[in-house]
Structure formats: C-alpha cells, structure tokens
Amino acid sequence: MAFLNPWGNLLQTCLPFLTVPDWRAHRGLVHAFLGRRGGFSAPPYDSLNASTAAGDKPEDVRKNWCEAKKALGIHSARVTTMRQIHGCDIAAVDEGTGKEAGEADAMVTDRPGCWLAVLTADCVPILLVHPGRRIAAAVHAGWRGSAAGIAVRAVQHLVDRYGIRPGELSAALGPAIGPCCYTVGHEAAEAVAGSWPRLQSSVLHKSPEGLRLDLRGLNRFQLLQAGLDPTRLHDVGHCTACSPGDFFSHRRVAGRTGRQISLVGWMPS
C-alpha cells in the first residue's frame, strides 16, 4: 500500500491518490486509485465524484475529471471509461475508441497514450500491466462479474490477444468493500459457491448478520488461478465501507453516492 505525503502524490496538487510502490520503477506508467477527496461535488457526492449516473451536476463532474487528470499529469488526455454492467464483456481500446468503450466490465490496450478508467463505489477495481509490452487493462469486478470470472477472462483475453504469458503480468486490486462490511444474500452466495466451489470456505464466511463475502480475496484467487505470480499481486487501499472520509461506498449509505476513479495507461514515447 502506498501513502505519500501522506495519502498520495501531492507534489503538484492537493488531490490525494494511491499507487503501487513496485510500479513506480516502470518508466512511463501512470496509474492511480483515487478516493473521494479533493473535488467540487456537493453532498451526497462530495467531493471527487466521477459519475453523473446517480444525479450529480455534470459541470461538477467535468471539473472533477479535469482535476484528476491534472493531478496525474495527463490533463490534456482523453480517458476512456465503459458502461459497466456487472458482466464479462471486454473492450479493446485504441486511439479511435473515444471517451466510452461501450458496455463492458474490462478494457485492454497496447497503445501508449490510451488511458483506461474504472469507476467504483464498493466493487473491486483491478489494474493490470505488462511492462515489457506496455500493455494495460482495467477491470470492474462486482459480485456478479466476480462469480462469472471477469478477472480470469481479462487475463486470458490479454494472453490470447497479445501473445503474452500470464506470469509476465502484474495486477493491483484497489479499494473495495471488505468482508468486514459486505453481507450478501443467497443469490450472490450461491453464484460464487456454484462457480468457485473450491474457494467457498475461503471467501464466504458466516456472521451474525449473515454471509460475508471477501470480494477482493475472490478476485485475488482468480488471478492466481489465471497464472499470475503471487509476488506481482498487490492490494491497494482499505475497505471502502469502513472509510467514509476517503472513499465512496454504495453499501455504506444504501443510496445515492459518487464513484471514485481507478486509472492506468502508458505515456507515449
């Protein structure tokens, strides 16, 4: 977990973000897990909300995106997002893709200068990089997508599309709701247990409140199963539901809230 000054890279901005310490050695790589602080939106979207879907003012969201890109040193760049639908579709992104890649829950690119961003408020944001080939991927993993194996599918897509080996990839799992706060119903529990029976005892735990799901743990297991080196798997950030001042959490407020940004890409040479 990386905390700089004290929460992010604050050399040129007051906007905090989290990074992977090991990834700072990769020249040209830009990545960040941003939280909710440092933006312009009013409650309940305060303050660095990146989505208008829940009802925030579009002008405030635009200013938030501008502030985020400026903090990351890509102020004039176009960032591509997707219409996240809790599925397993994967979109390839290049210079002609535009600001939205369509309905998908993962995006991949081998084009420096293409920036991929996932928006979350409890789901797991996963960033994947291949330093040698300057490949990047961004994955949105809620319980439905996780049960369906979105992390495994994203890795396999990278292997098939670019001819790489899974062990050459590095992955970071960003701030997400933890098993401390994530009680799930029978539909979610049965979906996870049915798709990943060997992991059931590891990621589903009984509590007085009901079954608790370790969503980040489920995706970590999937990445290992897909062939990633465990030394190249990084957990970044705390439980979103436990950290009201730092992260948006749909579960915590049980209603309207903002979305935080997780971004990755490579600078053009």
Query: Residue 9: its pLDDT value, please?
Result: 44
Query: Residue 43: its pLDDT value, please?
Result: 96
What is d(CA 176, CA 155) in angstroms, rounded to the nearest whole number? 20
What is d(CA 162, CA 92) in angstroms, rounded to the nearest whole number? 11
Count of positions (residues) in the chain: 269
250: which 2 tokens?
């749909």
Query: Residue 82: its pLDDT value, please?
Result: 98
Query: Residue 14: its pLDDT value, please?
Result: 67
Contact 108, 92 (CB under 8 A): yes
Per-residue pLDDT of the chain (269 residues; tens, 9 = 90+): 333 333 444 333 469 999 999 999 999 999 999 999 999 999 999 999 999 998 999 999 999 999 999 999 999 999 999 999 999 999 999 999 999 999 999 999 999 999 999 999 999 999 999 999 999 999 999 999 999 999 999 999 999 999 999 999 999 999 999 999 999 999 999 999 999 998 888 999 999 989 999 999 999 999 999 999 999 999 999 999 999 999 999 999 988 999 999 999 999 98
Query: Residue 255: its pLDDT value, please?
Result: 81
4: burial class by Cβ within 10 Å (0-12, 13-18, 19+)? middle
Q: CA nearest 106: which of 62, 69, 188, 161?
A: 161
Query: Residue 153: its pLDDT value, please?
Result: 98
Query: Residue 91: its pLDDT value, please?
Result: 98
11: burial class by Cβ within 10 Å (0-12, 13-18, 19+)? exposed
Query: Residue 226: its pLDDT value, please?
Result: 97
Q: Hey, what domains does the chain have and what are their CATH numbers?
A: 17-178+216-266 (3.60.140.10)
Please give the model's pTM, rounded to 2 decimal places: 0.94
Query: Residue 200: its pLDDT value, please?
Result: 86
Query: Residue 4: its pLDDT value, please?
Result: 36
